Each structure stands twice: as C-alpha cells, then as structure tokens.
Amino acid sequence: DKGFDYCGNEKVDLAVWRHARAAIVVNAGASLVAAAGEVTKVEHAIAPMPGGLKVVLKALRVHQWAKNALIFVPVAAAHQLGVSQALLNSLVAFIAFSLCASSVYLLNDMLDLAADRQHHSKCKRPFAAGQLSLLFGLTAAPTLLLVAIGLACLLPIKFMMVLAAYYVATLAYSFGLKQLVMIDVLALAGLYTVRIVAGAAATGIALSFWLLMFAIFIFLSLAIVKRYAELYVMRQQGKLKAKGRGYQVDDLALLQSLGGASGYLSILVLALYVNSPDISVLYKHPKMAWALVPIMLYWISRIWMQTHRGQMHDDPLVFALKDKVSLLTGLAAAIVLWLAV
C-alpha cells in the first residue's frame, strides 16, 4: 500500500488513488483534482487540453470530405448538372458518404492510437493527442453511420449497396490491407474510384468504360504519391521502415516509377477516348478535347515533381483541391470541355 504513483482521469480512479503514494490527474477538472487531494497527495495535475467544436471537426476530418466531390463526376461527365433531381441526389449522396467516411475515420484513429503517437504529424490527431476521449469516438462513430444509412434510404437501392461496399472495404483497409505492400495503394485507388461509382448509383447515370479506366489509373498514381510522401519524410528523419506499413525507405525509387507510370497510363486512356467515336456522343467538337491531354500531362507530372522534392504534405486529392496551380489547371480543363461541347 502507498508504494506506487497512479495516473488517472476519472472518478473511478479515486479508489486506486486511495491506496497510492501520489496521484497524477490528467485532463480533469478542478473537482476531480480536489477529490484526489482528499485521498492522497496530488503530484501533478495536467489541465485539460483545448477541445470544443474545432477539435471534433478535426477528428471527423471534415477537410477530407472534399474527396467526396468525386460523387458529382458522373453528373458533370454526363452534362446533367442542370438536371435538378440528379444534382439533388448527388448532394444527398455526398452528405451520406461524408458522414460514413467520418465514422470510419474515427474508428481508424482509435485503432491506430499507438502508431499515430509515434508519427511526426499524426500524433497531433485529437485521439492521439488526448484531446478527445475514446468514449466520444465509440459513441459518435455508430451515430454518424446510422445517419448516413438514413440518408442512403432516400436514394436508389444501388447507392445503399455501394455505400455498404465502401464501408466494408474501408474497414478492411483499416484492419489490415493498409499493412500489405501494393495491396494498400490498390485499395486506396479503389476507394477513390468507388466514389464515382456511388455518384452514378445515386443518379442512375451509366458509367462509361473510359471514365472507370481513367479513374483507376489516375487514383492509383495518387495513392502511390501518398505512400511516397510518407516514406520521404521518414528518410529525412533517418528511419528505415514505415511503422504499421510494409514499405521501406529503399522502396522510394520503385514507388516513383510505378506511380509515374500509372499516372501516364491514365493520360493514355484519356487520349484513346478523345480519339474514339464514343466522344462524339457528348461532344460536338471532339478535336477541341485534345487540349486536355497536355493539360493533364502537365498536372500529373507536376504532382510527381512536387512529391519527389518532398513538397507533398497532404492527401494528394485534398492538395489538388487547395493548390492554386491545380485549380487553374482544372479551370483550363473545364474551359476546354466547354468549348468541345
């Protein structure tokens, strides 16, 4: 008895503190500190870290919802942005996917606590930093999922099936696929692509072979960008292997080759589409669309150049939606498509 110090943050810890030499009270209010002081000596009282809505939104990774804008791709590609029902269905699908994704993010962060606390940037995530309790995550994750399912019920059954497939695939990624070399980036590419499939399922728009092939190759390239960027930082820190991943720093050169090749294959698919009779279905001036090829070649090359230089500090898709040059490139592509219609 009294031969140990005990660290706690709840009232249930009082029973242990009663037998401890000293108490270390973490992330607790003044009342718990006072109660601990009545049963033993309080060695340290670490004040609660800043919380509130900002921390909750960070845990939900609301900034990652930008990736779900891919749900609008089928509507845009089919030139149905002016169709109110298609646009409304896409919006509902966007919200449902975002809430479902946040549910998975919470689960993923709770599962990855140990690895995140040793990571150079992930250690700042709310759970890893101690800003949010696990109880919050265990409550919020199923709640968000139930709301997402409720919204999915407003859309065609095919969308519900795609949402369920996305949820299961994301859990599979979190529980094990992310630790398997190359399987992880293929899974990430699939999770990007399934958002486009979800947009089509929500609106009833038929997906073209060309769009799917382009998406798979471009997203595989961006998934490899993400892994390359993480390994680059580890090399700068003198580490040899990524914790919780199957990659080593020595894999950087190979990943760069594979990622660049995949990105250029997506441009090849684009060029073949522009040269095919299929383009005439949606575009009256298909020759104008040839300008997309050099625009996209420039963009994917620039993405890889920045990654090679260690300047990619975000999810590449989120980066593209915030990067001025990427936005200007997207605007140029939109103008080309408008002229080709």
pLDDT in tens, 131-186: 777 788 889 999 999 999 999 999 999 999 999 999 999 989 888 888 899 999 99
Q: What is the pTM of this model?
A: 0.81
CB 270 within 8 A of CB 221: no
Residues 73 and 126 in one domain: yes
pLDDT given for residue 191 in this prediction: 94
Residues 288 and 337 in one domain: yes
Residues 60 and 201 in one domain: yes
pLDDT given for residue 316 in this prediction: 85
Query: Measured on CA atoms in the order 221, 222, 225, 230, is the torsion positive or negative?
Result: negative
Kindly state the tokens that stand for 122.
Answer: 């992930």
Q: What is the CATH number of the domain that holds 187?
A: 1.10.357.140
Residues 325 and 292 in one domain: yes
Residues 233 and 200 in one domain: no
Residues 179 and 225 in one domain: no
Residues 19 and 70 in one domain: no
Residues 197 and 74 in one domain: yes
How many other C-beta atoms can be found within 10 angstroms of the C-beta atom of residue 280?
10
Q: Which residues span the domain enclosing 127?
A: 51-207
CB 302 within 8 A of CB 257: no
The residues facing 70 across adjacent strands are: none
Residues 186 and 226 in one domain: no
CB neighbour burial string for 215-242, b if at least 16 within 10 angstroms, e if fewer: bbbbbbbbbbbbbbbbbbbbeeeeeeeb
Kindly state the tokens that stand for 93.
Answer: 């699908």
Residues 83 and 161 in one domain: yes
**Intervals of the chain under pLDDT 50:** none
Q: What's the structural domain count of the chain?
A: 3
Residues 324 and 276 in one domain: yes
What CA–CA distances, in Å, run from 108 to 15, 83, 199, 211, 224? Answer: 32, 37, 24, 30, 20
pLDDT given for residue 133 in this prediction: 76
The residues facing 7 across adjacent strands are: 24
The residues facing 42 across adjacent strands are: 23
- Of 173, 207, 241, the last residue of a domain is 207
- Of 145, 174, 207, the last residue of a domain is 207
Q: Sort 210 into a burial class: Cβ within 10 Å, 0-12 / 13-18 / 19+.
A: middle
Residues 59 and 84 in one domain: yes
